[in-house]
Structure 1
Amino acid sequence: MLTTTLSFANLHNHGELFANMLRARRELFIVHNKWNLPEAMGMEYDQYDTPASRWVVVHDVEGRVLAGNRLTPTTTGCGIYSYMIRDAQRGLLDTIPSTLLYDEAPVAPHIWESSRLFVSHDVPAAIRRRVHAQLIAQLGETVRGLGASHCLTLLAATWPRWADRVGVKMKAMGPVMEIDGIDNQVVMMDFSLTVH
C-alpha cells in the first residue's frame, strides 16, 4: 500500500493516478452514493479541483485507488468561489446547508480544507481501518509540509468513534446536520502535534 500527494506540479510523474482517483470518486459518490455531481469521461470533479489544491491518494502498486482526499487552502479564490465549506456558508452551494458552522468560516494560511475524503467502498473490511489510518497520516504529513497545522472538514458525524484510532485531535465546528440521509458535521483536525 502506497500513499502519494498529488499536485498540478507533479501529476505528470504519476501516470494515471490522478484520473484513477477521480474515477474512484465517481464510483463512490455518484454511482454508489447516488450524489448529483458533475462528471466527465468517467470521472467526478467540481470547481474546487484546481491548481491550488492537493490530493492525497492511498493506492496499490498498480495504481488502484483505495482512498483519497482533496486539500484546498482556505485562502484561495477563483471567481466567486473560495473553498467548499466557506462557499456553503455563504449560500453558494445548494446541496450543503449554510448553517454548517457555529462561526464564520476561517480564512488563514495555517488552515486548509479537507474535502472529498473517501475510502473506496470495495476496500475489504479487513484492511479498511489501515487504509483510513494511512490516508489520515499522509494528510497530516502533507498539511504540515504545506506549512499548515489544521484542516477544516465536513465528515460523517461518526467521527468521534474513529478520531482517537487515527491519532488526530478533532473538534466540532458546527452542528450535526443531515445531508442526503447521512448525519454530517464540520470538524477541525489538528495536525500541529501529530506525527505518525
Structure 2
Amino acid sequence: MQTTTLSFSNLHNHGELFANLFRARKQSFIIQKNWDLPESEDMEFDQYDTPQSRWIAIHDRTEVLAGIRLTPTTARCGIYSYMIRDAQEGILGGAIPQDLLYAPAPVDPHVWECSRVFVSHSIPQMYRRKVHFKMVEAMTGSARDMGATKLIALTGANWPRWYGRCGLTAEALGRQMQIDDGLFQCVAIDLTTKMH
C-alpha cells in the first residue's frame, strides 16, 4: 500500500493515478452514496478541485483504495473559497446548513480543510483499519508539510468514537446536523500534537 500526495504540478509524474482518484470518488460519492455531484468522463469533481488543493491517494499501484482532498482556508476561485466557509456564507444553496459552525469559518494559512474523504467500498472489512491508519498518517503528514497546524472537516457525527483510535486529537466546531441520510458535524483536528 502506497500513499501519494498529488498536486497540479506533480500529477504528470503519476500516470493515471490522478484520474483514478476522481473515478474512485465517483464510485464512492455518486454511485454508492447517490450524491448529486458533477461528473465527466467517469470522474466526480467540484469547484474546489483547483491548483490550490492537494489530493492524497492511498493506493496499490494505480488502484485507488482511499482518498482525501486538502484545501487551504485561504483559497479563492471566483465566488468560491472552501466548502465549509462557502456553506456558512450561503453560497452552496442550502445543501449544507449555514449554521454548521459556532464561529466564523477561519481564513488562515495554517488551517486547511479536509474534504472528499472516502474508502473504497471494495476494501474488505478486515483491511479497512489498516487503510484508515494509512489515511491518517498521510493526511497529517501532507498537511504539516504544507504548513498546517490544524485541519477542519465536516465529518460523520460518530467521529469521537474513531478519531482517538486513529491517533487524532479533535474538537467539535459546530452542532450535529442531518444532511441527506447521515448525521454530520464540523471538527478541528489539532496537528501540533503530530509535530516531531
User: Do both share a fold (TM > 0.5)?
Assistant: yes
> Which position in structure 1 is the counterpart of 2:70?
71
In the alignment, is the contact (CA less than 8 A) between 1:67 and 1:135 conserved in 2?
yes
Alignment map for 1:25-40 (pairs within 5 Å): 25-40=25-40
Deviation per CA, 1:15-43: give whole Å up to 9, x if none.
00010000000001000100000000000
**SS of the residue aligned with 2:77?**
coil
- The TM-score with structure 1 as length reference comes to 0.97
Deviation, structure 1 residue 170: 0.7
Gaps of 5+ in 1: none
1:100 aligns with 2:87: no
> Which position in structure 2 is the counterpart of 1:89?
88
Deviation, structure 1 residue 195: 5.5
The letter of the residue matching 1:20 is N
> Which position in structure 2 is the counterpart of 1:183?
183
> Which position in structure 2 is the counterpart of 1:16?
16
**SS of the residue aligned with 2:106?**
coil
Whole-angstrom CA distance in 2 between matches of 1:184 and 1:169? 18
The letter of the residue matching 1:68 is G
The letter of the residue matching 2:2 is L
Aligned residues: 195
Deviation per CA, 1:40-94: give whole Å up to 9, x if none.
0000000000000000110002x11111000000001011100000000000113
Whole-angstrom CA distance in 2 between matches of 1:195 and 1:146? 13
Call closer, same or farther: CA 1:60–1:195 in 2, change over 3 Å: farther
Structure 1 runs (4+) greater than 4 angstroms displaced: none
Alignment map for 1:95-174 (pairs within 5 Å): 95-174=95-174
The letter of the residue matching 1:28 is S
In the alignment, is the contact (CA less than 8 A) between 1:100 and 1:175 conserved in 2?
yes
> Which position in structure 1 is the counterpart of 2:43?
43
Deviation per CA, 1:81-133: give whole Å up to 9, x if none.
00000000000113111111010000001100000011111111011011011
In the alignment, is the contact (CA less than 8 A) between 1:141 and 1:195 conserved in 2?
no
In the alignment, is the contact (CA less than 8 A) between 1:2 and 1:59 conserved in 2?
yes
Deviation, structure 1 residue 166: 1.0
- The TM-score with structure 2 as length reference comes to 0.97
Stretch moving more, 126-135 or 36-45: 126-135
